[in-house]
Structure 1
Amino acid sequence: MASAQDTLLVQKGTYKEFEILVDKPLVIKGVDYPVVDGEKKGEIFRITSDNVTLDGLFIINVGVSYTKDNAAIRVVQSKNFLLQHLVLEELFFGIYLEKSSHGKVYHNRIIGEAVDEYNSGNGIQLWYSTDVEVLKNHVQGTRDGIYLEFSDHITITNNVSMDNLRYGLHFMFSDNDIYANNTFENNGAGVAVMFSKFITMRNNTFRKNWGTAAYGMLLKEINDAEISGNTFEENTIGINIEGSNRIDYTNNDFIGNGWAIRVIGACYTNSFKSNNFLYNSFDISYNSKLNDNVFEGNFWSGYTGYDLDKDGIGDVPYRPVKLFSYVVNRTPETIVLLRSLFMDIIDFSERVSPVFTPDNLKDPQPLMHKRP
């Protein structure tokens, strides 16, 4: 019954509805968070028009399907949408943006109960979408908290993504995106950036992503990116890097991780400057004797050199790669010897006379004091 450009006020109550089609420009606004209950029958909202706003609804019970990606809200080929102040629970997929652009996903709470990957969906998914802002959302208990595929010029800021089965944030084939000031905590892994370029990753926190295959951040086939001002704290691996080139790592804090940075495979022309490496079991793990990456002006808590001229820079270069990290890469069970005197001796001998580690993999200007 509504006309284009109308505002619908949905009064407090429970509405058992699913497959609600919004095919004209509307503002649909809840009063005191009315419940829209899909009764597990299928998708709940499908938006196919430009200029649609959903605001202040409590949406529950999306139908789980093994053939369709049912979502609480699906936006299809639409522009200028606004999804805000929504609470989504008992979901399969939460918010699914499909070939849509110039919209905003703002201040929503998306809570799943994912147990297995095969029968759970993602909290916020963008597929072939551009110029979208995703900000101040809380996503928890889904497969991937936020997932981008073939989606460019996306800005993801001030979100909390935690307790998700697989990744807090996952990029695939997506370029020129920014994510900043987000928290990724206790996920299967924090963030995976794969087959993408020109990604800016700034001022995020990656915390307590623990497990046998857990990373704060996983980079695979990434080029021309910036990683700055981030905190990686208590992850199994802070950053796992494979086939990624021309990336600037600056002003990051790596605190109490198993591996701060683990480099696997071909990674060239990367720069690591002005980072703090604090009390990690391994600061840098390398599996190659070749290195053309630059390590300069970082603070290393394991550095034991001196500073005779008192300029704040160590007079002796620091070699961050321990021989023991090579041993653990080849034979993971040897990790039980991590704190042994024997390992201290072989690491010391490798630092004095490098045989297995790249001769030029060193920080010639290690800082004597932690960067603020």
Structure 2
Amino acid sequence: MKPLRLVFYTIFLIVLGGRFSLPPTLADDATIIVGGEGGAWHDLQAALDAAPEGALVEVHGGTYTGHIEISKPLTLRGVNWPVIDGLNQGSIISISAPDVTISGFVIRNSGSSLDEENAGIESEAPRTVIENNRFENILFGVYLREAHNSVIRANTFVGKEVDLPRRGDAIRVWSSHNTTIEGNRVSRGRDVVLWYSEHLLVRENIVEDGRYGLHFMYCDDADVSRNILRHNSVGAFLMYSRRLHLHHNRIESNRGPSGYGVGLKDMDDAIIEENIFADNRIGAFLDNSPREVDSTMRFAHNVFAYNDIGVAMLPSVKRNEFYANSFIENVQQVAIEGGSGGDLSGNTWQGNYWSDYAGFDANNDGIGDVPYRAQRLFENLTERKPETRILLYSPVMQAVEFAARVAPLVQPQPKFEDTQPRMQPSFPQGIPALPPPSPIPMLLLGVSLLSIAGGIMLVAMPRRKQTHLHIAQVGV
């Protein structure tokens, strides 16, 4: 009887095995293939759950739906750009384990809730590496929280097609020290936000068509280099941080309501050198920077070109050193913001190039023989009465400046003096050439002249008709 039961039990297991396939067994050093012709797995989440720590999970093409959770150290690698689709609900991938790497995926269609901070990838674990992925139609792109020693590299981010206030941050790094952000391209996001994180390395990124290209708060000892920040409302806003090094960046065409190439608020001991600030509303704006009484700020070998204002400072700002910068064809080279006038003599200006310098160099040593003084009358008027900026590029501006030159009694006191002005500009090495100046000033000038000419013609034409009519009546 027992042999017969054994036969029936064996037949039952064979039938059961034919109807239900068991998951593959895994070795400790497994490489798990998902999808494709040779893939043993077709459920991405199931493969991740079954993978041992340290495994390589390789996904070959196809489309998979989020939400995906990764709770152990492993590498998730895409081949032939597999898609992970969040179906416009929530976050797409969440990481809760250290030492996770994700590369080679298209990650698209996160949810749209700013309150829930829906993201393409969110991580709360150290040593997360996110590289060579494409983020499409996402609210937040990558969100790191206390994910120290992480890397965000060579990704592209394209945000949702919504108005700017409804967008999320393409990259947000919160309390994640020693994080590297490099080689990414960001468009149509809100900001790249870096908060409460020390020793950040931010380099070779392109950030465009957003609000703040970079937004720093409480990030000490950061190194920011070789980025391109363009067509944002503000190129970079740097706040409440110490010892930041901003160098070899190209910051251009940021013309939103603020329109700063770089804004600095309550910054201490920052070094800003060998950058190009071009075609912004204001190249650099300084508010209470430096903040501490024993701190200084250094601007050296930068180019401020074709901006409406090269550098703008509040009148209380002191202890900034401007050395060997080139101020090229800004409408206003340096401005005092705040409407209260004053001067900037509490800062050091030495050895800079000024395109409006009218001095001479008799001994040909490359240094002007008379100081450069910032004392244009129309600039003084616009600083005290900002509403007069509407007269920029108009004949009124030229008349005011001409009057100041021929009648020195009406010249204002200089805002500052550069005792060693350079005769030739210098340019940072390794940065692409300057863009051409914005056509907006010349367009405004052309429109103004056409308006004046049109007004004269409108006034003159009726008078000519009346004159002919009067002559005809007299002839009768």
Q: TM-score when scaled to structure 1? A: 0.94
**Percent identity, aligned pairs only?**
32
Of 342, 352, 370, the residue aligned with 2:399 is 342
Contact persistence 2:66–2:93 (CA under 8 A): no
Q: Which residue of 2 aligns with 1:295?
A: 349
Q: Does structure 1 residue 156 correspond to structure 2 residue 202?
A: yes
Identify the match of residue 249 of structure 1 among 299, 302, 319. 299
Paired amino acid for 1:132: T
Q: How far apart are the structure 2 equivalents of 1:108 and 1:352?
A: 60
Q: Are the structure 2 counterparts of residues 202 and 22 from structure 1 closer, same or farther at C-alpha, using a change threshold of 3 Å?
A: same
Match runs of 1:169-184 below 5 Å: 169-184=214-229
Change over 3 Å in CA distance of 1:81–1:256 after alignment to 2: same
Counterpart of 1:25?
73
Q: 1:224 to 1:191 in 2, by over 3 A?
A: same
Name the CA distance, whole Å, in 2 between partners of 1:181 and 1:352. 47
Change (3 A) 1:27 1:86: same
Give the CA deviation at 1:342. 2.1
Q: Tell me, in whole angstroms, the C-alpha distance in 1 between the residues paired with 2:414 and 2:421.
A: 18
Taking the aligned partners of 1:48 and 1:113, their CA distance within structure 2 comes to 26
Aligned-residue offset at 1:190: 0.5
Provide the secondary structure at the position in 1 that maps to 2:382: helix
2:260 corresponds to which residue? 215
Q: Deviation per CA, 1:69-104, whole angstroms, max 9, x where unpaired?
A: 11110110x222211000001111000010111111
| 1:368 aligned onto 2:392 | no
The higher-RCO structure (CA 8 Å, 6+ apart) is 1
Conservation of the 8 A alpha-carbon contact between 2:317 and 2:344:
no
For residues 46-61 of structure 1, what are the structure 2 equivalents within 5 Å? 46-61=94-109
**1:125–1:370 CA distance, 2 compared to 1 (3 A):** same
* C-alpha distance in structure 2 between counterparts of 1:29 and 1:163, whole Å: 30
Say if 1:284 and 1:321, in contact at 8 Å, map to a contact too. Answer: no
Residue in structure 1 matched with residue 149 of structure 2 by the alignment: 102
Q: 1:218 & 1:179 partners in 2: Cα distance? A: 14
2:374 to 309, 320, 335: 320
Contact map agreement 1:189 1:209 (CA 8 A) in 2: yes
8 Å CA contact 1:109, 1:138 repeated in 2: yes
SS state at 1:266 partner: coil
Structure in which a larger fraction of residues adopt helix: 2
Per-residue CA deviations over 1:266-304 (Å, capped at 9, x if unaligned) read 221110010111100001112433521110001111001
Decide whether aligned partners of structure 1 residues 255 and 334 sit closer, same or farther in structure 2, where only a CA change above 3 A counts. same
Gap regions ≥5 residues in structure 2 = 1-49, 291-295, 428-476
**1:365 aligned partner, one-letter code:** Q
Q: Whole-Å Cα distance in 2 between the matches of residues 320 and 10 of structure 1? A: 63
**What is residue 128 of structure 1 aligned with on the other side?**
175
1:342 aligned counterpart, secondary structure: helix
Letter in 2 for 1:268: K
Please give the per-residue CA displacement for 1:83-142, whole angstroms capped at 9, x wherever unaligned. 100000111100001011111111000011354344211011000110011000001101
Q: CA offset at residue 33 of structure 1?
A: 0.6
Distance 2:350 2:410 in 1: 21
8 Å Cα contact 1:324/1:346 also seen in 2: no
Q: 1:3 to 1:182 in 2, by over 3 A?
A: same
CA RMSD in angstroms comes to 1.8
* Contact 2:153–2:181 (8 Å) recurs in 1: yes
Aligned length: 366
Give the secondary structure class of the aligned counterpart of 1:327: helix
* Larger Cα-atom Rg: 2
Question: Match of 1:223, SS?
Answer: coil
SS at structure 2 position matched to 1:142: coil
Decide whether aligned partners of structure 1 residues 35 and 262 sit closer, same or farther in structure 2, where only a CA change above 3 A counts: same
**Which position in structure 2 is the counterpart of 1:330?**
384
Q: What CA deviation, in whole Å up to 9, does each residue of 1:138-178 have, x standing for no partner?
A: 0110111x1111111100000000011x1010001211111
| The one of 89, 92, 112 aligned to 2:136 | 89
* Of 302, 306, 320, the match for 1:270: 320
Local SS of the residue matching 1:334: helix
Letter matched to residue 111 of structure 1 = V
User: Which moves more between the two structures, 289-298 or 98-107?
Assistant: 289-298
* 2:271 alignment partner in structure 1: 226
Q: What is the Cα deviation at residue 352 of structure 1? A: 8.3
Instruction: Tell me the amino acid that sits aligned with residue 370 of structure 2.
Output: V
Tell me the secondary structure at the aligned position of residue 308 of structure 1.
coil
Question: 1:225-245: CA deviations, max 9, x gaps?
Answer: 000000011011101111002
Give the drift of 1:66.
3.8
- Give the conservation status (yes or no) of the 8 Å contact 1:337–1:343: no
TM-score (norm 2): 0.74
Whether the 8 Å contact between 1:298 and 1:366 is mirrored in structure 2 is yes
Cα distance in 1 for residues equivalent to 2:175 and 2:166: 23
CA contact (8 A) 2:90 2:118 kept: yes
**1:337 positional shift:** 3.0
Would you say the 8 A contact 2:233–2:256 is kept in 1? yes
Partner amino acid, structure 1, of 2:73: P
Mapped pair 1:10 → 2:94: no
- Cα deviation 1:33-65 (Å, max 9, x = unaligned): 101000011011111111100010000010111
Moved more, 257-266 or 288-297: 288-297
